[in-house]
Chains A and B, each alone.
Chain A
Amino acid sequence: MTSESRITVDGLIKRFGDFVALDGISFAVGAGEIMGFLGPNGAGKSTLIRILCGLLRPSGGQASVAGIDVASDPEGVRRRIGYMSQKFSLYGDLSVVENLRFFGGIYGVPRSALDGQVAFVVEMAGLQGREDSLVATLAGGWKQRLALGAAILHRPSVLFLDEPTSGVDPQSRRRFWDLIHRLGADGVSVLVSTHYMDEAEYCNRIALINRGRLITLGTPHEIKARSVAGELLAVEAEDVGRAIAALREAPGVRNVAVFGRLLHVVVDDAAARASELKARLNALGMAGVRTERILPTMEDSFVHLVGRAGRSPEGAA
């Protein structure tokens, strides 16, 4: 861990009764880095973020944020971070500016600086002209940018976003990510959890977690290269169920997963196996079978890694 680390997590454990939500997680996030947390629902993403925000006490291990230990000084941590939860959580019956002034005041932004900060956030979130609108009347994308604005009023050095883009249209999501990258460029470290695979590719680094464990950590490129052991073929066939069964038994096939209308098949040698597999399916009486070599996406990696971890929890293979 370098001195540049804004977030340092070492062997973090959280238990709720008998249930182990986080099972010894370790990683570090540097200044200005955008780190994505990817994992299925219930993997422990929210629990991890809530611990790092000082909302939950860890059961074991250590975590520090902005150089402060979360267990011993949660209040000090909260002074230095911004947090935006998956649930929209500003006051719908207050106006844009009233909400911002309230949270600014709670965060202790000096009165002299508050007007400037509020104006800055309004501009950044593109809410000019809506300053006096009640928040309840704003559309989803606007609310989301306002919530992000409320979380950075006090200029935190670390920002936590817990599934911030759930339920927002793609265009607003794109705009939201532009904002996050602007913050990263200003040196703010951002830790964001999501279950949108395409969003994960916007992050500098990605941590994949499942069942409270860190499965892999790296840049999107690294993860894709590392996780899919082999080459990838997209196969289009009519009878998906029978096709899967047939493909799983074919020589050279390592994994088969359904992606929409297509099957993604991991094989040892795409060029050699493509025609073999096509012939095999044709032999079963399936017409119109098409195969194509593709590059693995984040979703391929995710399915592959989570599937592997699910089958052998000790992380073999």
Chain B
Amino acid sequence: MLRRILELLIKEFLQLKRDRSARFRLLVPPVIQMLLFGYAATFEVFNVSTAILDLDRSQESRALTAAFVHSARFRIARGAETQRDIRQAVEASEVQVGLVIPPGFSELLRKGESSPVQAIVDGTNSNTALIALGYVGQIASAFGQDYAQDLAHRTGRALGRPMVSVSLEERYWYNPNLNSRWFFVPGVIGTLTLITIVNLTAFAIVREREVGTLEQILVTPIRPVEFIIGKTLPFFLIGLLEVSIVASIGMLWFQVPFRGNVFVLLFGTSLFLLCALAIGLLISTLCTTQQQAFASNFFVLNPMFILSGFSFPIASMPQFLQWVTYADPLRYFLVIIRATFLKGVGLDVLWPQMLALAAIALSLLTIAVLRFRKSLD
């Protein structure tokens, strides 16, 4: 069994060595796209998961909290009792914004002074962070204005005096300058890997089917599983290499910090690559020509990209589509890759994503292998 897989491996790499255009497709587009995306612009955002820590526990602080709760812009994802709750929630990506209303908030307001509220923002997604902060500012200042008018009305003080305001004390975690490249670059790594590996796998198998060599191989004593392993293992290795290259560009050229553990990223990447290989294999069972494979890849990869949360925040999508995103392996890999790069968190935080990827990989591979065996009949 090992011998046959080894022979297939040797053959694949020999063919790759000969095929200049395949080598080109393998290396040049990812590098160019990496540079393009790295320099490319920003885009818009919505509906932000939030945690509020109310340390003042006053009528005023509850009113401010209510203003956020009733705003469609924010979704209160969880409550918080201590500063630690906020930190954990942001770290685990449960929330993107943490609001802390400090003790003495109402006291300062009543005195007619400007009263600070602390906003902690997860900077790994610099787009969401920036837009979300804008909403926080709007809600806070609207609250401040209402309160000032109310106060003037009640105390009879002249409206000509400076208004009471809620001042924001902003803190960006992980990406203090909200550098959008830090957000883009890890995402591009995941997306590029998916596209390249799905394409390579699907094409390599469909080509053998089209040329007739698949049939020639299948009359040998090789088992379908051996064929699948021998055929996909090279692309698994190529996928790892590609992630390394693109990640190096991100770190060395775009100066994106890598704060996490390489092995956590490697583990996540491996699970993700298994998903990509399974998708490629699945496409190859549905197609008899390379043209069909090309069309199918387009139909599969585009939705995966859109639903991954790479460009469009999942929280802003209709509920139905949000459910669909749970089946998108890219969704989980983007969290893993951004979190290992920027937050430096480990398996203790990322295990749900790892588990989801493993489950998707396992089910996709099972379906792909079963379908592949059936397609031979």
> Contacts of A66 on B, CB cut-off 8 Å?
none
User: Chain B, 192-233, contact with A by CB distance < 8 Å: what is the 0/1 string?
Assistant: 000000000000000000011101111111110000000000
Are A93 and B18 within 8 A (Cβ)? yes
Stretch at the interface among A98-106, A182-190, A194-202, A205-213: A98-106
User: Chain B, 333-377, contact with A by CB distance < 8 Å: what is the 0/1 string?
Assistant: 000000000000000000000000000000000000000000011
User: Chain B, 1-33, contact with A by CB distance < 8 Å: what is the 0/1 string?
Assistant: 001101110110011001100000000000000
Known interface pairs A89-B212, A89-B213, A105-B7. Does A94 touch B221 (Cβ–Cβ under 8 Å)?
no
B374 shortest CB reach to chain A, Å: 11
A89 to B221, CA, bound (A): 17
> Contacts of A79 on B, CB cut-off 8 Å?
221
A65 shortest CB reach to chain B, Å: 12
A53 to B215, CA, bound (A): 11
Set A88, A101, A106, A134: member contacting B217, Cβ < 8 A? A106
Known interface pairs A55-B376, A93-B15. Does A102 touch B216 (Cβ–Cβ under 8 Å)?
no
For B215, the closest partner residue in chain A by CB is A85
Does A83 touch B at the CB level, under 8 Å? yes
Are B377 and A56 within 8 A (Cβ)? yes
Task: Give the total of B residues in contact with A, Cβ under 8 Å.
Answer: 25
Chain A contacts to B: CB under 8 angstroms: 53-57, 75, 78-79, 81, 83, 85, 87-94, 98, 101-103, 105-108, 134, 150
B8 shortest CB reach to chain A, Å: 8
Are B223 and A75 within 8 A (Cβ)? yes
For A56, the closest partner residue in chain B by CB is B377
- List 28 contacting pairs A-B, 8 Å CB cutoff, sorted by A: A53-B219, A54-B219, A55-B219, A55-B376, A56-B377, A75-B223, A79-B221, A81-B219, A83-B219, A89-B211, A89-B213, A89-B216, A90-B216, A91-B11, A91-B15, A93-B15, A93-B18, A93-B19, A94-B14, A102-B10, A106-B4, A106-B217, A107-B220, A107-B221, A108-B3, A108-B221, A134-B18, A150-B216
Set A89, A93, A103, A105: member contacting B3, Cβ < 8 A? A105
> Contacts of A103 on B, CB cut-off 8 Å?
216, 220
Are B221 and A78 within 8 A (Cβ)? yes
Known interface pairs A105-B3, A107-B221. Does A98 touch B14 (Cβ–Cβ under 8 Å)?
yes
Known interface pairs A57-B377, A90-B213, A102-B7. Does A75 touch B221 (Cβ–Cβ under 8 Å)?
yes
Are B11 and A94 within 8 A (Cβ)? yes
Q: Is the interface of A mostly helix, strand, loop or mixed?
A: loop
How many A-B pairs fall under 8 Å by CB? 69
> Contacts of B223 on A, CB cut-off 8 Å?
75
Q: Is the interface of B mostly helix, strand, loop or mixed?
A: helix
A91 to B3, CA, bound (A): 19
List 12 additional A-B contacts (Cβ < 8 Å) besides A98-B14, A105-B6: A54-B219, A55-B218, A57-B377, A85-B212, A87-B211, A87-B212, A89-B211, A89-B212, A89-B213, A92-B211, A93-B19, A105-B7
B355 shortest CB reach to chain A, Å: 36
A83 to B6, CA, bound (A): 22
> Contacts of A150 on B, CB cut-off 8 Å?
216
> Contacts of B7 on A, CB cut-off 8 Å?
101-102, 105-106
B138 shortest CB reach to chain A, Å: 62
A85 shortest CB reach to chain B, Å: 6
Q: Which 7 A-B residue pairings sit nearest by Cβ, starting from the closest? A: A105-B7, A87-B212, A89-B212, A89-B216, A83-B219, A79-B221, A106-B220
> Contacts of B218 on A, CB cut-off 8 Å?
55
> Contacts of A91 on B, CB cut-off 8 Å?
11, 15, 213
A16 shortest CB reach to chain B, Å: 10
User: Chain B, 48-72, contact with A by CB distance < 8 Å: what is the 0/1 string?
Assistant: 0000000000000000000000000
A56 shortest CB reach to chain B, Å: 7
A156 to B8, CA, bound (A): 21
> Contacts of B15 on A, CB cut-off 8 Å?
91, 93-94
A176 shortest CB reach to chain B, Å: 18
Set A56, A78, A94: member contacting B220, Cβ < 8 A? A78
For A78, the closest partner residue in chain B by CB is B221
For B376, the closest partner residue in chain A by CB is A55
A162 shortest CB reach to chain B, Å: 10
